[in-house]
Amino acid sequence: MENTEIARIFTEIADLLEIRGENPFRVRSYRNAGLIIEGLPVSLESIVERDEASLEDIPGIGKSIHEKIVEILKTGKCRFHQELLKEVSPGLLEVLKISGIGPKKVKLLADRLGIRSVDDLEKAAREHRLHELPGMGERSEQKILKAVEGYKTLRIASRRFRLSVAYPYARNYVEYLRAVPGIIDIEIAGSLRRWKDTIGDVDILVTCRKGAYVMKRFIEYPDVREVVARGETKSTVILKVGLQVDLRVLEKKSFGAALQYFTGSKSHNIAVRDRARRMGLKVSEYGVFDERTGRRVAGEKEEDVYRAVGLEWMAPELRENRGEIEAAESGRLPVLVEERDIKGDLHVHTTESDGANTLEEMVEAAIERGYEYIAVTDHSKAVGIAHGLDEKRLLKQIEDIERLNERLKDSGKRFRVLKGTEVDIRADGTLDLSPDILKRLDCVVAAVHSGFNMTGKKMTERIVKALGTGLVNILAHPTGRLIGTREPYEVDMEKVMSAAKKYGVFMELNSYPERLDLNDSYCMLARDKGILVSIATDSHGSLHLDHVIYGIHTARRGWLEKKDVLNTRSLSELLKLLRRS
């Protein structure tokens, strides 16, 4: 069973408990477990097979969650979850997703009006039956109808998968197919090759020797739930997790053209085709052809397809028709940042707040990755649920880090642990720790973690005020979005970035798979304003350091080069940049 399915069960338990009015800490522990499991880079199944006890090394996985994971892996379901579902109707889980309707209201709607689903709710609102309820009037009925409409649109959008979910599935599938005898070339195309933050379906392209059993092996993949179509050159399956995967078998001579075509984006391809037409050429998934004579000009290699229309080959992340054609024409394509350029991570948590690994373990993992530095940025006290640090505990951590740095130096390691914090930006824009202690730190990361519902004007003022203290180095997850579950809060990023530039604050691109915040367009805005971006993982465990890959590709979608990224700098350069007046 895949992590996403297990994660879904825990998220539903959290929702069901919430509807029942359970203790918020209990609810939170299930909800966190869901998020954590979904973000894990390895499958729970393999962890349990290897060493079941190590489950509890994962942040946020305590004993009770541990037992349920094992139960789900063994039996395919969780008894506790099933019992809750008997008690609370599953349609109410959907009602809970309507904005403005909290768990208490869901319970009220169910008990008083017998509402069991979103459709029931919509009907009741149209029939003006809601205003019989305490605290509801005609205006709330209108609001609910609007919210139901919004929910229905979002539900269509949420059929897409997060990059971090689709990517491991696709990679495993490709590894499996690569081993099929007779396969020659194999590539992932589509939005996944462009590393979009959400993925509709996965396209895999192959060439193979005649008579290879590629299609047969494709549909036999153990994770397939349903074979939608099976043909000689194209088949489609749905995986158990719900993800659609298409496989196309191509002729060698058109592999490059097909790769270009199926990578997209649509608007990029339209621009390429228009350009070709003006040159008397026709570009299709089969190749590039002379329009007059029908002669094939290119097709086997993707580079040749671009060259045929007078363009340099460009990285898939750029192919969104945002100026890449013009840049490729004039040899001004950006030299995009790469994984090997990253020298350290400026946002990681330890067991002091809500991380799973100790300071020493995080440092060891970072050294193993070949990093030169990390900044330890545990939460501050306002984030009580994450066991945030007050001044006294932070002071103690500062001393621990100083001692650790001494030890590292003595052992001849070229690695530095930066003293940091992820200080909470309070609702009024003040910081959650005293200036005295913030001044003692190497790297102050600041972030909003609550009060998301204020107006855009208020939120912008709040953040700008925090940046204006002169105590902040980096603004973490600047828009607060959680992909597929929480929209960004309302904020004027143009104003926030202008303030950041003025006060010497850097922007974070948080690589945590649910966040990817800044997104690609805001990366471009940061670059245009001359603000360096910190590609950080917000790791809550040493395994999460690998998430940096999602941040790097998002940065590449935002056209960022090595020079645009803060943590490509050497330690000494970085320390200079982090110096606050």
Give the interface segment with Zn ion, choosing from 15-23, 206-214, 291-299, 440-448 (CB under 5 A): 440-448
> Whole-number minimum distance, CB 387 to Zn ion, in Å?
13
> Whole-number minimum distance, CB 62 to Zn ion, in Å?
20
| Cβ proximity to Zn ion, 259 vs 447, nearer residue | 447
**238 beta partners:** 226, 244
113 C-beta neighbours (distance < 10 Å), count: 16
Quick one: how many helices (H) and strands (E) in the chain?
24, 17
Cis upstream peptide for 265 (omega within 30°): yes
| Cβ proximity to Zn ion, 311 vs 431, nearer residue | 431
| Cβ proximity to Zn ion, 343 vs 515, nearer residue | 515
Residue 166 near residue 182 (C-beta atoms within 8 A): no
> Whole-number minimum distance, CB 491 to Zn ion, in Å?
15
| Cβ proximity to Zn ion, 447 vs 474, nearer residue | 447
| Cβ proximity to Zn ion, 98 vs 447, nearer residue | 447
> Whole-number minimum distance, CB 370 to Zn ion, in Å?
23
> Whole-number minimum distance, CB 470 to Zn ion, in Å?
21
Give the interface segment with Zn ion, choosing from 7-15, 108-116, 232-240, 441-449 (CB under 5 A): 441-449
| Cβ proximity to Zn ion, 447 vs 518, nearer residue | 447
Residue 534 near residue 344 (C-beta atoms within 8 A): no
| Cβ proximity to Zn ion, 124 vs 535, nearer residue | 535
Give the interface segment with Zn ion, choosing from 289-297, 324-332, 391-399, 447-455 (CB under 5 A): 447-455
Using the rule CB under 5 A, which residue among 118, 447, 507, 536 binds Zn ion? 447
In order, the DSSP letters of 264-287 are --HHHHHHHHHHHHHTTEEEETTE
Q: Binding to Zn ion (CB under 5 A): which residues in 313-342?
A: none
> By CB under 5 A, is residue 38 in contact with Zn ion?
no
Beta strands in 404-479 (DSSP E): 416-424, 443-447, 474-475
Residue count at the site for Zn ion (CB under 5 A)? 3
| Cβ proximity to Zn ion, 120 vs 538, nearer residue | 538
Q: How far apart are the first and last CA of the chain?
A: 53
Tell me the one-letter amino acid at 276: A
Write each residue from 469 to 508 as x if it is in contact with Zn ion (CB under 5 A), else as -, in one continuous string. Answer: ----------------------------------------
| Cβ proximity to Zn ion, 309 vs 500, nearer residue | 500
> Whole-number minimum distance, CB 377 to Zn ion, in Å?
6
Burial class (CB in 10 A: 0-12, 13-18, 19+), 520: buried
DSSP state at residue 85: H
> Whole-number minimum distance, CB 496 to Zn ion, in Å?
16
Place of tokens 């729970």: 44
| Cβ proximity to Zn ion, 122 vs 538, nearer residue | 538
Residues in the chain, how many?
581
> Whole-number minimum distance, CB 539 to Zn ion, in Å?
8
Q: Is the dihedral of CA 143, 147, 150, 152 positive or negative?
A: negative
Do strands 281-284 and 287-290 pair parallel, antiparallel, or not at all (unpaired)?
Answer: antiparallel
Q: Binding to Zn ion (CB under 5 A): which residues in 530-569?
A: 538
Beta strands in 315-389 (DSSP E): 344-348, 373-376
> Whole-number minimum distance, CB 497 to Zn ion, in Å?
19
**425 beta partners:** 431
Give the interface segment with Zn ion, choosing from 11-19, 137-145, 401-409, 443-451 (CB under 5 A): 443-451
Q: Binding to Zn ion (CB under 5 A): which residues in 419-438?
A: 422
In order, the DSSP letters of 138-207 are HHHHHHHHHHHHHHHHHHHHTTSEEHHHHHHHHHHHHHHHHTSTTEEEEEE-HHHHTT-SEESEEEEEEE
Q: Binding to Zn ion (CB under 5 A): which residues in 129-168?
A: none
> Whole-number minimum distance, CB 347 to Zn ion, in Å?
6
Give the interface segment with Zn ion, choosing from 212-220, 291-299, 325-333, 446-454 (CB under 5 A): 446-454
- For the record, the structure tokens of 93 come out as 């889980």
| Cβ proximity to Zn ion, 141 vs 422, nearer residue | 422
Residue 363 near residue 351 (C-beta atoms within 8 A): no
Residue 535: in which H helix or E strand, if any?
strand 533-536
> Whole-number minimum distance, CB 452 to Zn ion, in Å?
12
Q: Binding to Zn ion (CB under 5 A): which residues in 386-425?
A: 422
| Closest by Cα among 188, 251, 180 to 220 | 180
Please give the residue ranges that form the binding site for Zn ion (CB under 5 A). 422, 447, 538
